[in-house]
Amino acid sequence: MDIDTLLERYPKTVDLKGTRVVLRPLQPTDVKGFHAFFCGVPETERMFLKHRVTDIEVIRQWCTTIDYGRNLPLLAMQGKRVVADATLHQQFGGWRRHIGRISVVTHPDFRGRGLGRLLVEELIHIAQHLRLERVEAEFIGNQVAARKLFARFGFDELLVLPGYVKDMQAIDHDYVLMGRKITTDEEFTSAAG
């Protein structure tokens, strides 16, 4: 299935433990809202993100060069407020072309309501129907909640490299790669008979 067809399921409204959110892909008009979202993530966690997300120019660049086939940021919105983001990253060609990478961040005010789980589930569904064969997620050090969340979806620890990466303050942390195989579209169809 192609990405445009898969994205027809959005916007999607979901009720979660006292909150109603709308899931939809990032749009060019999200610069301010997406930037405000990242500014609300504690600095101790932002250090684990790969990009300088408090720089609005970084966010502007993401919003003006949207290519869902390469990076699909799926946002959870409460009204006009971005409250969570999970992104499916893909590489075209090369020896990682069959692997999708998932990253997820929930605003601290909205944690523990199932948002992280919901977004990861959506992206696994999309990855399966894009015929990716594997999904993975990367972690630095002790991201306990996140590792537990992915473990619930069957992600195993594939690699642990002690003290391998440095955060923005040049402090060493372990690098952890988790991943799992996913069933392809065709396998779904044949299993359904």
Ligand X SMILES: CC(C)(COP(=O)(O)OP(=O)(O)OC[C@H]1O[C@@H](n2cnc3c(N)ncnc32)[C@H](O)[C@@H]1OP(=O)(O)O)[C@@H](O)C(=O)NCCC(=O)NCCS
Binds ligand X by CB under 6 A, chosen from 112, 154, 162, 163 = 112
Helix (H, G, I), strand (E, B) or coil at 16: strand
Residue 15 CB contacts under 8 Å (≥ 6 apart), including other chains: none
User: Should residue 184 be labelled a site residue for ligand X when binding is judged by CB under 6 A?
Assistant: no
User: Should residue 166 be labelled a site residue for ligand X when binding is judged by CB under 6 A?
Assistant: no
Q: Which residue number, 6 or 155, has a Cβ lying nearer to ligand X?
A: 155
Which residues in 71-192 belong to E strands, given as ranges?
A: 71-78, 81-90, 99-106, 134-140, 156-166, 172-181
User: Should residue 144 be labelled a site residue for ligand X when binding is judged by CB under 6 A?
Assistant: yes
Stretch that binds ligand X, among 6-14, 22-30, 67-75, 105-113 (CB under 6 A): 105-113
Question: 192: exposed, middle or buried (C-beta count within 10 Å: 0-12, 13-18, 19+)?
Answer: exposed
User: Should residue 181 be labelled a site residue for ligand X when binding is judged by CB under 6 A?
Assistant: no
Tokens 């392809």 correspond to 184
Q: Which residue number, 74 or 115, has a Cβ lying nearer to ligand X?
A: 115
Give CA–CA dist 119/1, Å, rounded. 20
Binds ligand X by CB under 6 A, chosen from 137, 155, 176, 182 = 137
Give CA–CA dist 60/36, Å, rounded. 12
CB 192 → ligand X: shortest distance, Å? 28
Stretch that binds ligand X, among 29-37, 104-112, 161-169, 182-190 (CB under 6 A): 104-112
> Where on the chain is the footprint of ligand X (CB under 6 A)?
45, 103-106, 111-117, 137, 139, 143-146, 148-149
